[in-house]
């Protein structure tokens, strides 16, 4: 062993670690394995000799611990242990992937390379995060071991997160919760998944975590007592039957207790299923497992009444991730429901260690879980290759997929296909081929005819029935659960719609030709407006599908003819059109307010600046409200002129005196003197000007407010302001627009 860089104490620890690792591996070690493991161990020791973890420990403790997790908690073999020992070498030291390949071969090098490439960094931008996520999946889809070792790596980092700064803790914890816990779940690593989630809670919400931990501790004695009492009669009966077994109790994970408390808004004491009792049968031959478990079920229910609705038989039909167990919930003597899990040692091994443990065993359906995981990884690859979804959509899809259980079904030729639980005949049809999906009218399952909506069961052999006449419609979307079928159906519906729209377009072209109206953008725009359609596509589709009857096109024509005859449409926002009209009539392109000059033109005064005759003004052609007249000094004027110069019209007031009155708002400020308001109203009344509103406030010897008036023109207003300014105590008097900008 290499001694440089490590203290004597540390070397002792390293030797101990090495021996433990080898001892744990003994059952899986093949000839020559011990030697290569020692080589990798020394290689890691040498490569990391100058590195320390944040806690001050030698860095190499980390890869060794990861290797230990791979062996002990995942049941992985030599290749994975080598890769785990070397997983940080390329990233953190001067050694390259070529060095690994040279010393440990292609397989190990590929896994280490994959592990090096995985860099999920949580980004604040969801799309970037989604892209990172996609990259991670691309790497893991290559070899399932990459993902397993990565989870082991993450588990060890989470276990030693204390020495990290707070912000890093939160970031790493969030990533774990977001990605690694769901992945662990999908791979059947139940205890690792629970531990990752518990550790997440520890850092994300320390006080909640502490609360649950301490309550679990405080209630431990009582729980143990209860379990002893509960188990005693079962134990005796099992012994009498000659079973070899152990009875364990399993407390729910901290995270799931906490979730339950929060979701159901209940206290810790009210969580009724805090723990489950697990009966693990030993030395049961594979063929007798099912019978043995049901015998135990029968014994348990001799003593306690089961809730039949809560019995789950995952032995006859295991979960897609390989989980096998017989669950029942029974009523205890003290009136509490207790979940009892019955399984064999083999099943327990699989349930605890997940994917890797399955390699050793074959499943009843003949499908090994390895095949199952392979199918799943194929599915991941396929999803990744499909580039038409956005990264975000993909991620949502994928994450929901992680938590979804799958079923296996077969084609008539016996080819196995994987589908999520609740998948229908239609989902299967689209999985086989999109052409078959599009023409699907039903299926034959085990020689029985079923409709497209029929939900498939594990092990079904499905023969799809098709008809050339079948066509997907919107309702099909309700019958499918896979994203593949969903997007294919949507595409097909879109295609159909496109054909209908094309037909609609032909109709429009023909009708317009008959009416001698040019088929151009302007006409189409007018039609969209007339028929209240948002897009050109909508318009053509509505006509093609006869939602708009074809004779309506003639009605549209008549209406536009009328509109055209008024020469200027009220709704146009194209000032050049209006200018042209004005010029044709007056020889001048200025809009004259108060004198129509024979122009049939609608305009109104902008509320933001309320122009009155005498003010400098301009016209603004709005898209929906005709022409608005603004003052040149309007607070919105600059914005309008800068952004919409093509809608601006020159305008001026007609020269005659206006009989009509215009509203204005005056802002007044002054010192608060008794009688000042009275004097103001007196001056206004003397000028025979109408007061519309008065709104005044006084504070700290100052008054301010506004007066609404109606005047004939600027001259009248200016004269009035002059007189008001002469009142003693008035400090400022101005028209409102000089104060704030409002909407046009
Ligand atoms: Mn690492």
**pLDDT tens-digit map of 30-41:** 888 899 999 999
pLDDT average, residue stretch 300-315: 90
Pick the range with the lowest mean pLDDT from 24-28, 193-197, 254-258, 381-385.
381-385
DSSP-based three-state secondary structure for 201: helix
pLDDT given for residue 565 in this prediction: 40
Say whether pLDDT at 320 is over 70.
no
Say whether pLDDT at 516 is over 50.
yes
pLDDT given for residue 685 in this prediction: 84
Pick the range with the lowest mean pLDDT from 316-320, 493-497, 612-616.
316-320
Instruction: Select from 677, 712, 727 the least CA-distant residue to 697.
Output: 677
Q: How far is the centre of ligand 1, averaged over its atoms, from the C-alpha of 193 (Å)?
A: 18
- Residues 6 or more apart in contact with residue 274 via CB below 8 angstroms: 216, 219, 223, 251, 252, 257
Pick the range with the lowest mean pLDDT from 38-47, 117-126, 688-697.
117-126
Q: How far is the centre of ligand 1, averaged over its atoms, from the C-alpha of 61 (Å)?
A: 10
DSSP-based three-state secondary structure for 354: coil
pLDDT given for residue 43 in this prediction: 94
Q: How far apart are CA 739 and CA 735, in angstroms?
A: 8
Q: How far is the centre of ligand 1, averaged over its atoms, from the C-alpha of 672 (Å)?
A: 76
pLDDT given for residue 362 in this prediction: 45
pLDDT given for residue 501 in this prediction: 92
Q: How far apart are CA 113 and CA 219, in angstroms?
A: 47
Q: How far apart are CA 18 and CA 25, in angstroms?
A: 11
From the number of C-beta atoms within 10 Å of its C-beta (0-12, 13-18, 19+), residue 100 rates as buried
Q: How far apart are CA 707 and CA 735, in angstroms?
A: 10
How does the average pLDDT of the chain come out, rounded?
82
Q: How far is the centre of ligand 1, averaged over its atoms, from the C-alpha of 88 (Å)?
A: 5
Say whether pLDDT at 386 is over 60.
no
DSSP string across 106-170 = HHHHHHHHHHHH------SSHHHHHHHHHHHHHHHTT-HHHHHHHHHHHHHHHHTGGGS-HHHHH
Question: What is the maximal distance between C-alpha atoms in the chain?
Answer: 118
Q: How far apart are CA 87 and CA 85, in angstroms?
A: 6
Pairing of strands 337-344, 416-420: unpaired
Torsion of CA 628, 633, 639, 642, to 10 degrees: 90
pLDDT given for residue 159 in this prediction: 95
Domains, in order of start, for the chain:
8-205 (1.10.3210.10), 213-371 (3.30.460.10), 491-565 (no CATH), 569-653 (no CATH), 662-743 (3.30.70.260)
Torsion of CA 670, 672, 673, 677, to 10 degrees: 70
Q: How far apart are CA 391 and CA 595, in angstroms?
A: 61
Q: How far is the centre of ligand 1, averaged over its atoms, from the C-alpha of 87 (Å)?
A: 6
Point out the residues that are catalytic.
Answer: 91-92
Q: How far apart are CA 77 and CA 108, in angstroms?
A: 12
C-alpha distances out from residue 136 to 89, 121, 131, 177, 380, Å: 19, 10, 9, 15, 11
Pick the range with the lowest mean pLDDT from 77-91, 335-349, 350-364, 435-449.
350-364
Q: How far apart are CA 353 and CA 372, in angstroms?
A: 16
Q: How far is the centre of ligand 1, averaged over its atoms, from the C-alpha of 45 (Å)?
A: 14
Pick the range with the lowest mean pLDDT from 174-183, 189-198, 390-399, 614-623.
390-399
Instruction: Select from 481, 492, 368 the least CA-distant residue to 431.
Output: 481
The highest-confidence range among 81-85, 364-368, 369-373, 407-411, by mean pLDDT, is 81-85
Q: How confident is the model at residue 547 (pLDDT cuts 50, 70, 90)?
A: confident
Say whether pLDDT at 66 is over 80.
yes
pLDDT given for residue 653 in this prediction: 85
Q: Which two tokens stand for residue 85?
A: 């020992």
The dihedral built from the CA positions of residue 537, 538, 541 and 543, taken in this order, carries a sign that is negative
Residue bearing the bigger pLDDT, 589 or 181: 181
The dihedral built from the CA positions of residue 547, 553, 555 and 560, taken in this order, carries a sign that is positive
Q: Which two tokens stand for residue 690?
A: 């109408």
Q: Which residue has the tokens 């799931």?
A: 256
Q: How far is the centre of ligand 1, averaged over its atoms, from the C-alpha of 466 (Å)?
A: 53
Q: How far apart are CA 438 and CA 470, in angstroms?
A: 7
Q: How confident is the model at residue 743 (pLDDT cuts 50, 70, 90)?
A: very low
DSSP-based three-state secondary structure for 501: helix
pLDDT given for residue 513 in this prediction: 84
Pairing of strands 305-306, 312-313: unpaired
The alpha-helical segments, DSSP class H, found in 273-417 are 289-303, 345-353, 355-358, 369-385, 391-402
Residue bearing the bigger pLDDT, 296 or 357: 296
- The residues with which 279 forms a beta bridge, in sequence order, are 247, 342
Q: How confident is the model at residue 380 (pLDDT cuts 50, 70, 90)?
A: low
Percentage of the chain lying above the pLDDT 90 cut? 29
Q: How far is the centre of ligand 1, averaged over its atoms, from the C-alpha of 146 (Å)?
A: 12
C-alpha distances out from residue 22 to 29, 81, 82, 185, 345, Å: 9, 10, 12, 28, 23
pLDDT average, residue stretch 623-641: 79
> Per-residue pLDDT tens for 127-180?
666 666 666 666 666 677 888 898 999 999 999 999 888 888 888 888 888 878
Q: How far is the centre of ligand 1, averaged over its atoms, from the C-alpha of 22 (Å)?
A: 20
C-alpha distances out from residue 298 to 93, 286, 301, 333, 685, Å: 59, 20, 5, 17, 102
Q: How far is the centre of ligand 1, averaged over its atoms, from the C-alpha of 372 (Å)?
A: 28
Pairing of strands 337-344, 275-282: parallel
Q: How far is the centre of ligand 1, averaged over its atoms, from the C-alpha of 62 (Å)?
A: 7
C-alpha distances out from residue 244 to 241, 342, 618, Å: 9, 13, 98
Q: How confident is the model at residue 570 (pLDDT cuts 50, 70, 90)?
A: very low
Instruction: Select from 687, 673, 674 the least CA-distant residue to 724.
Output: 687
DSSP-based three-state secondary structure for 281: strand
Q: How confident is the model at residue 620 (pLDDT cuts 50, 70, 90)?
A: confident
Q: Which two tokens stand for residue 400?
A: 């929901």
pLDDT given for residue 303 in this prediction: 94
Q: How far is the centre of ligand 1, averaged over its atoms, from the C-alpha of 114 (Å)?
A: 13
Q: How far apart are CA 114 and CA 91, in angstroms?
A: 11
Q: Which two tokens stand for residue 225?
A: 């007592």
Helix, strand, coil in percent for the chain, rounding step 5: 55, 15, 30
Q: How confident is the model at residue 14 (pLDDT cuts 50, 70, 90)?
A: very high
From the number of C-beta atoms within 10 Å of its C-beta (0-12, 13-18, 19+), residue 297 rates as buried
Q: Which helix (H) or strand (E) holds 492?
A: helix 483-515
pLDDT given for residue 304 in this prediction: 94
Q: How far apart are CA 55 and CA 197, in angstroms?
A: 23
Q: How far apart are CA 256 and CA 195, in angstroms?
A: 11
Three-class SS of 569-582: CCCCCCHHHHHHHH
Q: How confident is the model at residue 394 (pLDDT cuts 50, 70, 90)?
A: low
Q: Which two tokens stand for residue 258?
A: 């906490």
pLDDT average, residue stretch 424-436: 92
Q: How far apart are CA 73 and CA 81, in angstroms?
A: 12
Say whether pLDDT at 510 is over 50.
yes
Say whether pLDDT at 665 is over 90.
no
Q: How confident is the model at residue 512 (pLDDT cuts 50, 70, 90)?
A: confident
Q: How far is the centre of ligand 1, averaged over its atoms, from the C-alpha of 96 (Å)?
A: 16
Question: What letter would DSSP give residue 248?
Answer: E
Q: How far is the centre of ligand 1, averaged over its atoms, from the C-alpha of 157 (Å)?
A: 7
pLDDT given for residue 455 in this prediction: 92
- Residues 6 or more apart in contact with residue 208 via CB below 8 angstroms: 201, 258
Rg, C-alpha atoms of the chain:
40
Q: How far is the centre of ligand 1, averaged over its atoms, from the C-alpha of 172 (Å)?
A: 13
Residue bearing the bigger pLDDT, 235 or 287: 235
Question: What letter would DSSP give residue 288?
Answer: G
Q: Which residue has the tokens 């014994």?
A: 299
Say whether pLDDT at 331 is over 60.
yes
Q: How far is the centre of ligand 1, averaged over its atoms, from the C-alpha of 358 (Å)?
A: 25
Q: How far is the centre of ligand 1, averaged over its atoms, from the C-alpha of 397 (Å)?
A: 28
C-alpha distances out from residue 595 to 132, 577, 580, Å: 67, 19, 18
Say whether pLDDT at 662 is over 50.
yes
Pick the range with the lowest mean pLDDT from 279-293, 645-659, 716-730.
645-659
Say whether pLDDT at 630 is over 70.
yes
Q: How many CB atoms lie within 10 A of CB 139?
A: 18
pLDDT given for residue 391 in this prediction: 55
pLDDT average, residue stretch 667-684: 83
């Amino acid at each position: 062993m290499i001694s440089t860089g490590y203290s004597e104490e540390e070397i002792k620890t390293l030797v101990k670690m090495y021996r433990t690792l080898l001892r744990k591996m003994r059952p899986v070690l093949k000839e020559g394995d011990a030697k290569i493991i020692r080589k990798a161990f020394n290689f890691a020791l040498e490569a990391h000799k100058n590195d320390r973890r944040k806690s001050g420990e030698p860095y190499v403790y980390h890869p060794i611990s990861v290797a230990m997790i791979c062996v002990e908690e995942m049941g992985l073999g030599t290749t994975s242990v080598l890769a785990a020992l070397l997983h940080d070498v390329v990233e953190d030291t001067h050694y390259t992937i070529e060095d690994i390949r040279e010393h440990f071969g292609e397989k190990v090098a590929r896994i280490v390379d994959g592990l090096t490439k995985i860099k999920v960094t949580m980004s604040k931008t969801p799309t970037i995060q989604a892209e990172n996520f996609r990259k991670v999946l691309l790497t893991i889809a290559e070899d399932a071991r990459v993902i397993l070792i990565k989870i082991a790596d993450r588990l060890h980092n989470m276990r030693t997160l204390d020495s990290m700064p707070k912000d890093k803790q939160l970031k790493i914890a969030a990533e774990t919760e977001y990605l690694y816990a769901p992945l662990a779940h999908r791979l059947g690593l139940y205890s690792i998944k629970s531990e990752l989630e518990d550790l997440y809670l520890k850092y994300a919400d320390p006080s909640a975590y502490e609360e649950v931990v301490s309550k679990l501790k405080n209630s431990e004695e009582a729980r143990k007592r209860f379990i002893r009492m509960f188990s005693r009669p079962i134990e005796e009966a099992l012994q009498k039957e000659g079973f070899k077994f152990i009875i364990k109790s399993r407390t729910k994970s901290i995270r799931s207790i906490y979730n339950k408390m929060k979701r159901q808004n209940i206290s810790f004491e009210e969580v009724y299923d805090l723990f489950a009792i697990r009966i693990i049968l030993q030395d049961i031959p594979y063929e007798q497992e099912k019978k043995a478990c049901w015998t135990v079920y029968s014994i348990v229910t001799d003593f306690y009444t089961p809730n039949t609705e809560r019995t789950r038989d995952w032995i006859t039909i295991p979960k897609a991730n390989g989980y096998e167990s017989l669950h029942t919930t029974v009523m205890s003597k003290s009136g509490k429901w207790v979940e009892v899990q019955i399984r064999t040692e083999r099943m327990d091994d699989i349930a605890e260690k997940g994917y890797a443990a399955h390699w050793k065993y074959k499943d009843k359906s003949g499908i090994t879980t390895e095949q199952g995981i392979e199918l799943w990884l194929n599915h991941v690859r396929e999803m990744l290759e499909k580039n038409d979804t956005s990264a975000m959509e993909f991620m949502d899809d994928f994450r929901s997929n992680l938590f979804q259980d799958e079923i296996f079904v077969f084609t008539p030729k016996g080819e196995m296909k994987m589908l999520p639980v609740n998948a229908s005949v239609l989902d299967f049809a689209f999985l086989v081929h999109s052409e078959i999906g599009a023409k699907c009218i039903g299926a034959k399952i085990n020689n029985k005819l079923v409709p497209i909506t029929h939900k498939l069961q594990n092990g079904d052999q499905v023969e799809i029935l098709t008809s050339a006449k079948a066509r997907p419609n919107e309702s099909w979307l309700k019958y499918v659960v896979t994203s593949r079928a969903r997007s294919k159906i949507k595409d097909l519906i879109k295609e159909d719609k496109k054909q209908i729209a094309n037909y609609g377009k032909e109709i429009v072209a023909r009708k317009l030709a008959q009416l001698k109206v040019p088929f151009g953008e302007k006409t189409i725009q007018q039609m969209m407006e007339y028929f209240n359609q948002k897009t050109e596509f909508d318009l053509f589709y509505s006509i093609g599908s006869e939602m708009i009857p074809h004779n309506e096109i003639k009605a549209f024509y008549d209406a536009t003819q009328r509109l055209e005859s008024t020469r200027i449409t009220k709704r146009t926002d194209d000032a050049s059109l209006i200018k042209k009209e004005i010029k044709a009539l007056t020889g001048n392109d200025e809009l004259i307010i108060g004198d129509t000059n024979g122009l049939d033109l609608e305009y109104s005064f902008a509320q933001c600046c309320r122009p009155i005759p005498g003010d400098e003004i301009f016209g603004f052609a709005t898209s929906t409200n005709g022409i608005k007249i603004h003052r040149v000094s309007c607070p919105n004027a600059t914005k309008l002129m800068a952004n919409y110069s093509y809608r601006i019209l020159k305008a001026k007031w007609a020269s005659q005196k206006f009989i009509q009155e215009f509203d204005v708002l005056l802002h007044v400020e002054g010192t608060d003197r008794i009688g000042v308001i009275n004097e103001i109203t007196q001056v206004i009344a003397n000028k025979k000007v109408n007061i519309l509103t008065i709104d005044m406030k006084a504070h700290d010897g100052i008054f301010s407010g506004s007066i609404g008036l109606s005047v004939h023109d600027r001259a009248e207003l200016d004269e009035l302001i002059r007189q008001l300014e002469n009142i003693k105590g008035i400090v400022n008097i101005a028209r409102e627009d000089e104060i704030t900008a409002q909407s046009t």
